Amino acid sequence: MRLSFTDIINSQDTEQKTAKMRLYGQIGYDFDGNSFAKEMLYLKDQGVNKIIIVINSVGGNVPQGFSIINAMHELEEEGIKIKTLNIGVAFSMAGIILAAAKRGQRDALDYANQMIHDPSFSGDPENIPESKKEMLQKTKESLRTILSNSSGLNIEIIASMMEKETTLNAKEAKKNGLIDNIINTSIKPKLSAEMSNYSQMVACASFYDNKKDSNKHIINANKKAMELNNLLGLNVEASESAQIEAVKALKEKSQKALEMENKAIALKSEYSALEKKYTEIEEKLARSEAEKMVNTAIENGQIKADTKELWITNAVNDPTTTQKMLNSFEVVNLNGARKNEQKSGDAEMTIKEAKEVIATFQALSSEEMDNMTELEYLKLDKAFDLTR
């Protein structure tokens, strides 16, 4: 088994082999409490007969904390000495682990602090179901029993201290039976009331080990955790579970954005297909109307059949102007007789002149065609008549 929390101090001494385990960070977030407990039990198989649990923790997951306390008691029953040492902060569940060792084996540096309080569920207390409220009450009773047995204080005093959240310095913790020995230090870490619990923990961990090698990974991990919290828009002290939830939320938003992008692409493609289909239908309708218009003109003898495609093209591009042009032509029955009397136009026109008139007309814009006079239409009509 790979040792993640342990240093074997005197590995060559077969009679007195001591291990130092570092309980640093937040239980269940910075490290797994169950893994910590399994490593404690593994040390027994490696011939370790004394374990010093160095604590610098703001607490954390209660069930995982119970795993650690249970491993402590199991090893103590088998004759392995368990000593706890608070080197900075032992808050919440970490404070209970500190007190859970046998009396006489619980130490604290003179600047260390210990805090005990009631456990709680995250979220709105009003919305906690009754089953969870009952579970919470049983957990409170279990923690109170551990502290009462460890300190010698009665349950009612412990319950009062936990309910109002009590923080004690080393002297106060010893007076209340939560630790046994205070280790005096000549130099103390620089702590202030303005520092958060998490910041105090990091400062104490850095100060305790002069070499800093053994707890370097904890400090680096905490720095990285703070950087990650900043990137995720969380409080710098946000737990690992909060980080996981934030990442899950980001992943969900990313997935939704990807789904929306894919839908937008599909809709764009669908719109393009519909637009193309609509254009095709419009073109077919325009062609159909143009053919109808031109066929009628051919039937009326207004234009020749061999010019049909030319007139259809004109009718598709500009149906209004084309219809006006066709309306200006004389209607002739199938026998070649005129159905309408030719409108005035006394002067005779040569074929050459007729072609010039038609050429001039074809060069006109739509607006110029709309402004043509009746006389000009008659002249154009005669020109077309002569060129048929």
**What Rg do the C-alpha atoms of the chain give, in angstroms?**
48
Q: At what angle do helices 374-387 and 351-362 cross, to 10 degrees?
A: 120
Token duo for residue 154: 């009665």
Token duo for residue 25: 């960070």
The counts of H helices and E strands in the chain are 14, 8
- Out of 67, 92, 150, 239, which one is annotated catalytic? 92
Across-strand partners of 168? 114
Cα–Cα distances in angstroms (integers) from residue 373 to residues 243, 328, 377, in the given order: 83, 11, 6
Q: Is 92 a catalytic residue?
A: yes
The DSSP secondary-structure symbol of 123 reads: S
Q: At what angle do helices 240-299 and 308-317 cross, to 10 degrees?
A: 140
Q: What backbone phi and psi angles, to 5 degrees, belong to 237?
A: -100, 10
- 8 Å CB contact between 303 and 294: yes
Q: What backbone phi and psi angles, to 5 degrees, belong to 54?
A: -90, 120
- Out of 67, 117, 206, 328, which one is annotated catalytic? 117
Across-strand partners of 24? 56
Q: Is 117 a catalytic residue?
A: yes
Span between the terminal Cα atoms of the chain, in Å: 107
SS3 state at 183: strand
Between CA 91 and CA 112 the distance in angstroms is: 10
Catalytic residues: 92, 117
